[in-house]
């Protein structure tokens, strides 16, 4: 909490109670002071927030805006206020050219027919009934009436108000400590299957892959195998994708921390080899990460190569959830997008994925709010990019 005191040391209030006075003195929008994503305010408006700033060093008027715009530059005291602002504007322009300046705005915000959920539920998204709309798949790992891992599919065409499927599966109850899940059409029957990644506690002493057939309503396994990847833990995230579009789906293992490269690493296991061989093992252009990050794999820029979609949920300079995309064509060394979103910080209650909800050929960001919702249900918030 930001507390405000007089020169004599008397407490006057805090940021929340004195927001009107702060706005009048600084010229900063009340909406910005109350946490609205800063990208909603134009460059000129954000620049104006430092116009009347009185600082001991004149260059600090410009330097104080670095975090506001999410850019970096050396601090050169003695260059003068004018030169500092010239350099700042150049950095802002360069950032926009290099990374794009999309703001992801809401195209859908809705409650669903699924009650509020907790960490025993993992969410996925895919077109399960082949009607052209992405559906929401809820994988209930434990505490189920069937004593198995259960699958609930909510129809995208109904705005997630109608269930397509509610079923137990051929898999026993599971947990986040040992299991992760993904969707893919493994056997080429044009039906999405449920990929079960068993991270540890395996008979093979490796990370294992088990695939439940979508055509069997997730009752039968079509693959159960160990892999070339050692047992894993919560420092890993997993996704399915095709490194080679003509091949079988591959397993993408994203190593978030405790890496040899001191970066988030990508390890891709070949589906064509039954996950016995690596296609790629590399560090990325992203530093080591933690629970404040979510990941997805998708062809963001339609170049035929799967990219790494990174969602930073908290501790962002913008005060909003941020979206970053690493190019698969660069072996995940280069970013092709840095963007703020219309969502506040989302650690703890949200899961993220991508899908073409708007059916415009581009990918949208899907945020699933699991609990503490106004609708008292699991909610779906979908954001589309606006250049």
The Cα 244–Cα 221 span in angstroms is 24
Q: What is the pLDDT of residues 105-130, one digit of tens each?
A: 899 999 999 999 999 999 999 999 99
Which has more pLDDT, 154 or 10?
154
pLDDT of residue 98: 53
pTM listed for this prediction = 0.76
Q: How far is CA 150 from CA 123, 146, 164, 167, 220, in A?
A: 12, 8, 13, 6, 13
Instruction: Report the CATH number of the 103-386 domain.
Output: 2.115.10
- In the sheet with 263-269, reading across from the earlier edge strand, the strands are 236-241, 250-255, 263-269, 278-287
Other Cβ atoms closer than 10 A to 72:
9
Q: Evaluate whether 385 touches 364 at the Cβ level (below 8 Å).
A: yes
170-225, pLDDT tens digit by residue? 999 999 999 999 999 999 999 999 999 999 999 999 999 999 999 999 999 999 99
On the CB side of 160, how many CA atoms lie within 13 Å of its CA?
Answer: 25
pLDDT band at residue 37, thresholds of 50, 70 and 90? Answer: low
Cα dist from 112 to 120, 142, 151, 372, whole Å = 18, 21, 16, 14
Alpha carbon dihedral 306, 311, 316, 319, in 10-degree steps, equals: 130
Instruction: Check whether 387 has a pLDDT greater than 60.
Output: no
Q: What is the pLDDT of residues 320-373, one digit of tens each?
A: 899 999 999 999 998 888 888 889 888 889 999 999 999 888 899 999 999 999
Q: What is the pLDDT, as a whole number, of residue 202?
A: 98
Q: In whole angstroms, what is the distance from residue 70 CA to residue 95 CA?
A: 9
Higher-scoring residue by pLDDT: 81, 149: 149
Name beta bridge partners: 250. 241
- Please state, in angstroms and rounded to a whole number, the distance separating the CA atoms of residues 57 and 154: 58
The length of the chain is 387
The residue behind tokens 């560090």 is: 283
- For residue 386, name the pLDDT band (cuts at 50, 70, 90): low
Average pLDDT, whole number, for the chain?
91
Domains of the chain, by residue range, sit at 3-99, 103-386
Q: How far apart are CA 100 and CA 301, in angstroms?
A: 12
């Amino acid at each position: 909490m930001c507390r405000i005191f007089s020169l004599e040391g008397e407490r006057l209030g805090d940021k929340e109670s004195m927001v009107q006075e702060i706005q009048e003195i600084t010229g900063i929008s009340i909406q910005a002071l109350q946490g609205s994503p800063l990208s909603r305010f134009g460059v000129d408006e954000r620049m104006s927030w430092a116009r009347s700033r009185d600082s001991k060093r004149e260059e600090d008027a410009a330097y104080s805006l670095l975090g506001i715009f999410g850019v970096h530059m050396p601090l050169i005291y003695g260059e003068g206020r004018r030169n500092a602002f010239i350099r700042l504007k150049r950095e802002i322009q360069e950032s926009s050219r290099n990374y794009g300046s999309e703001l992801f705005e809401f195209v859908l915000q809705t409650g669903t027919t699924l009650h509020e959920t907790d960490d025993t539920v993992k969410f996925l998204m895919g077109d399960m009934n082949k009607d052209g709309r992405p559906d929401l798949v809820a994988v209930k790992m434990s505490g189920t009436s069937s004593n198995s891992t259960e699958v609930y599919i909510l129809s995208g065409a109904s705005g997630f108000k109608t269930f397509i499927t509610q079923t137990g599966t051929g898999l026993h109850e599971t947990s986040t400590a040992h299991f992760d899940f993904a969707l893919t059409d493994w056997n080429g029957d044009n039906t999405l299957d449920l990929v079960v990644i068993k991270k540890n506690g395996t008979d093979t002493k490796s990370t294992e892959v088990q695939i439940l057939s979508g055509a069997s309503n997730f009752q039968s396994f079509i693959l159960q195998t160990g892999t070339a990847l050692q047992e894993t833990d919560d420092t890993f995230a997993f996704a399915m994708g095709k490194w080679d579009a003509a091949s079988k789906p591959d397993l993408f293992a994203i190593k978030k921390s405790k890496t040899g490269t001191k970066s988030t690493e990508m390890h891709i296991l070949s589906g064509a080899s039954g996950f016995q061989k690596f296609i790629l093992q590399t560090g990325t252009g992203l530093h080591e990460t933690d629970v404040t990050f979510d990941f997805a794999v998708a062809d963001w820029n339609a170049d035929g190569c799967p990219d790494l979609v990174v969602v930073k949920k908290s501790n962002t300079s913008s005060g909003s959830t941020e979206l970053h995309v690493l190019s698969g064509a660069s072996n995940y060394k280069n970013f092709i997008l840095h963007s703020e979103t219309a969502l506040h910080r989302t650690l703890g209650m949200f899961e993220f994925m991508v899908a073409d909800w708007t059916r415009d050929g581009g990918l949208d960001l899907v945020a699933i709010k699991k609990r503490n919702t106004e609708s008292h249900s699991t909610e779906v918030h979908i954001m589309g990019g606006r250049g």
